[in-house]
Structure 1
Amino acid sequence: MNTKYLDLIDQTYYFPQEEFSLDGEHLRFHDIPLNELVEKYGSPLKFNYLPKISENIGRAKSWFARAMEKHGYKGRYHYCYCTKSSHFQHVLQEALKNDIHIETSSAIDINIVENLKEQGKIKNDTYVICNGFKREKYVENIANLINGGHQNCVPIIDNYEEIDLLSEAIDGDFQVGIRIASEEEPKFEFYTSRLGIGYKNIVPFYENQIKDNDKVELKMLHFFINTGIRDNAYYWNELVKCLKVYVRLKKICPTLDSLNIGGGFPIKNSLHFEYDYQYMVDEIINQINSTCGEAEVPVPHIFTEFGSFTVGESGGAIYEILYQKQQNDREKWNMIDSSFITTLPDTWAINKRFIMLPINRWHDEYERVLLGGLTCDSDDYYNSEQHMNAIYLPKYKRDKPLYIGFFNTGAYQETIGGYGGLQHCLIPQPKHVLIGKDENGNFIYELFSPQQNAEDFLGILGYSDRRDKKSEEDVNETRKADTHLKDTTA
């Protein structure tokens, strides 16, 4: 009988796959020996394999280059990274090795841009596309960036007041884009996105607030739908409506020369994952080319803002099965040494599924189980795989440790989970390891952050003396700054 876990995988999927392979009974991810990673650092463990970021950027650039050549497309392509997917320095520094641009969504994003400029990672001609609803500090930071000489900072107008706010804060002329408030999927709870300006209102908005404003030049139309780039009627219908708006605007606005189609490339979330990226890019470029050709207007330069696609497939999480609880005649609970709610919050918040595979014991018999986290919350569990509708793992044995990995978790999980802060039931945040390669192709490991400990939590919660002293110092520094400001004003 085929009772081994390896037999189950072999009869269910094509395996090995591009990023997954076996070394005896141990799983490798991009050829990383995960069992050695566990032996070196223990579990629970988060990691980022940084070369995958550059690889995905290169893939996307090649798809657009081929499509533009195929269709004789006259515009240029600009790859932007959506920073909200992961703001970490190691992610930005890896991404910026590939001649890309940046998309921001809040005020502190601009502080990150300024920091990267000081390091020489971002130049004055790097595009900084500023999305999001702009409050006072965000407007101030955008203005400081532009006033400081950054040539290609393009705020994307999200509401009717932002033109006036930016005009007051920015000294000279500046470029803007307009975000389209696309219609949501029919099954959504509301009809129109809260972000941007409605299709019918964009041309009147341009004529009323931008056309005769000597300081403002419209450069970009921004289009993005929440479900991402999918080959379905909804996506193509929204793209067509966007292109109609672009054509109307271009005929009355000569400075408009760019179309931002946002992000939304999916990432692999199953061993059955199939998505024809090249076909989708070909069809998008073809539709833009055809629409502009029929309308006799020049084609736009294309911008994308891939976030999850850039960083998602670089990440992973490893846990140990601590114990098995037989709760009734059917349900076996394998308890992990961490929490799903805190370390993979999307599994709890939006029922997202990641690729889950054991790290070791592939030649052992398997069983169906449920996975439980350590918090005392009934929602802290993971009970089905997107490709199986159930979880199967090598049988639990007290004397044979079992480690499991969740893969392609590199986007959003750290920021949504509150990286470095309080965790539900004070379950410590796992240690975090960065993985790269040296010039000889050997793996390099770096401990980015250790696992949280009791002192970290007590400091955040106000129990630590050191926290009290730090707070007093902060208050004193603030008072000094206020006194200095009053003296200067006087």
Structure 2
Amino acid sequence: MNTKYIDLIQQTFDFPQEEFQTRNNTLWFHKVDLMKLVYEYGSPLKFTYLPKISENIGRAKEWFSLAFQKHNYAGKYFYSYCTKSSHFKYILDEALRNDIQIETSSAFDLDIIGALKQDGKIKDSCYILCNGFKREDYLNRIIKLINSGHKNCIPILDNYKELGLLSSNINDEFQVGIRIASEEEPKFEFYTSRLGIGYKNILNYYHREIENKEKVKLKMLHFFINTGIRDNAYYWNELTKCLNVYVKLKKVCPTLDSLNIGGGFPIKTTLGFNYDYQYMIDEIVGLIKKTCDEANVPVPNIFTEFGSFTVGEAGGAIYKVLYQKEQNDRERWNMIDSSFITTLPDTWAINKRFIMLPINRWEDEYERVLLGGLTCDSDDYYNSEQHVNAIYLPKYNKEKPLYIGFFNTGAYQETIGGFGGLQHCLIPNPKHILIQKNEQGEITTKLYKEQQTSEELLSILGYEMSQEGFIDINRTSQKRIPSDLNEQ
């Protein structure tokens, strides 16, 4: 009878997989020994495997190149990274090694662009696509960037007011895009996206506000839907409506030469993940070419904006199971040494799934469990009711510590969780490790940020106390407290 955890995984999924293998009873991720990370840095910890960023950018470029060849497509392809997925400099540094463009969504994003330009990481030829609803600070930074000579900064118009504010303050000719306010998925709470301008209004808006302004050149039509690029009737219907607007605009606007089909490529959230990226890109490129050929207009350059696809599969988190609480005859709670609410906020905010696997003890027998975080909040958990499939892990044994990992967590979790700021119940941010490859292809690791300290959190809260003001636990305690519950 197969009762080991590794037997369960191999019977349920095609395993091992490209990024996951086991050696000597432990899990390896992209040939990185995760237990070695635990021994060196402890837990909880977060890590970023930087080579995955360049790998995914290269894969997408290759897929589009093959699709362009297949359909004899005359346009160019531009890969853009959405900074909102992760603003960290080490992420942008890695991504910008791959000749990409940048998409921004807020005022401070433009300060990041300025810093990267100073470092020589971004050239004037790089397209900066400025999305989102633009308040005064955001508009002023866009104006400053364009007036400084960065002509490939393209504000994507989100509403009717933005163009007037831009044109009255930008000195010379500049380019703009228009975002389409797409229809939301039928089950959504409202019908039309709050972002952009409606399908039926775009052509009239162009004639009224852009056509006769010599300084303003419409370059791009921007299309994005919230559910991402998926092979269903809803996606193809919205893309077809977008293309109909594009060909109508192109016939009256010779400067329009680019179509931004947004982002939304899914990433792997289960070992059973199955998505044919090449097929979807082939179909998209083929539909664009067919629509343009039938309308007798040139095909557009294609821009994509990939955020989660760029960074999501580079991230992970490792926790230790501190203790098991048996609350009734069938619920066993494995308590981790951190919090889901603070370190993986999408797991409770939008019930997002991540790949979860044990780091060690793969040869042990398994059991069904629930996972609980450290905060005193009922929502700080990760279980089968939230996440479809039951959670199975090697059986709890206080003599044999168990470590678990969550994978492909690299997008949004740090910014939504408030990296370096206040955390729910003052649970500190874990330490963060960067994993890279050197010139010889060898894996190297370095500590990016230590775990948050009490002093850092209390300073944010206004408790500016001298060191003497804190309780010296080592001096006042008469008996050492166990470092974790396994010592009890």
Which residue is 1:201 aligned to? 201
SS of residue paired to 1:356: strand
Which residue is 1:295 aligned to? 295
Q: Deviations over 1:416-449 (max 9, x none)?
A: 0001000000001100000001112211111110
| Inter-partner Cα distance in structure 2 for 1:363 and 1:440 | 33
SS of residue paired to 2:419: coil
Which residue is 1:6 aligned to? 6
Shift of 1:252: 0.5
Q: Which runs of 5+ in 1 are unaligned?
A: 468-490
Shift of 1:387: 8.4
Aligned residue-pair number: 467
Which residue is 1:264 aligned to? 264
Which residue is 1:274 aligned to? 274
Q: Could you tell me the percent identity over the aligned residues?
A: 73
| Inter-partner Cα distance in structure 1 for 2:9 and 2:303 | 40
SS of residue paired to 1:169: coil
| Inter-partner Cα distance in structure 1 for 2:122 and 2:263 | 21
1:172 paired to 2:160: no
SS of residue paired to 2:75: coil
Kept in 2: contact 1:52–1:313 (CA 8 A) = yes
Which residue is 2:230 aligned to? 230
| Inter-partner Cα distance in structure 2 for 1:271 and 1:388 | 14
Kept in 2: contact 1:272–1:387 (CA 8 A) = no
Kept in 1: contact 2:267–2:309 (CA 8 A) = yes
- Structure 2 CA distance for partners of 1:438 and 1:385, relative to 1, 3 Å: farther
Farther-moved stretch of structure 1 (15-24 vs 383-392): 383-392
Which residue is 2:351 aligned to? 351
1:77 paired to 2:74: no
Which residue is 1:482 aligned to? none
CA RMSD of the aligned region, Å? Answer: 1.1
| Inter-partner Cα distance in structure 2 for 1:422 and 1:283 | 45
Q: Deviations over 1:223-272 (max 9, x none)?
A: 00000000000000000000000000000000000000000000000000
Name the amino acid aligned to 2:139: V
Name the amino acid aligned to 2:361: R
Which residue is 2:307 aligned to? 307
Shift of 1:466: 7.8
Kept in 2: contact 1:356–1:407 (CA 8 A) = yes
Name the amino acid aligned to 2:332: K
| Inter-partner Cα distance in structure 2 for 1:416 and 1:231 | 29
SS of residue paired to 1:38: helix
Name the amino acid aligned to 1:279: Y
TM-score, structure 2 length as denominator? Answer: 0.95
Kept in 1: contact 2:353–2:387 (CA 8 A) = no
Shift of 1:169: 2.2
Shift of 1:300: 0.2
Shift of 1:24: 1.3
Name the amino acid aligned to 2:430: P
Name the amino acid aligned to 2:144: N
Q: Which runs of 5+ in 2 are unaligned?
A: 468-488
Which residue is 2:325 aligned to? 325
- Structure 2 CA distance for partners of 1:388 and 1:180, relative to 1, 3 Å: closer
1:20 paired to 2:20: yes
TM-score, structure 1 length as denominator? Answer: 0.94
Kept in 1: contact 2:352–2:387 (CA 8 A) = no
Which residue is 1:437 aligned to? 437
Which residue is 1:286 aligned to? 286
Which residue is 1:471 aligned to? none
Shift of 1:388: 6.4
Kept in 2: contact 1:356–1:385 (CA 8 A) = no
- Structure 2 CA distance for partners of 1:465 and 1:54, relative to 1, 3 Å: same
Name the amino acid aligned to 1:258: S
SS of residue paired to 1:447: strand
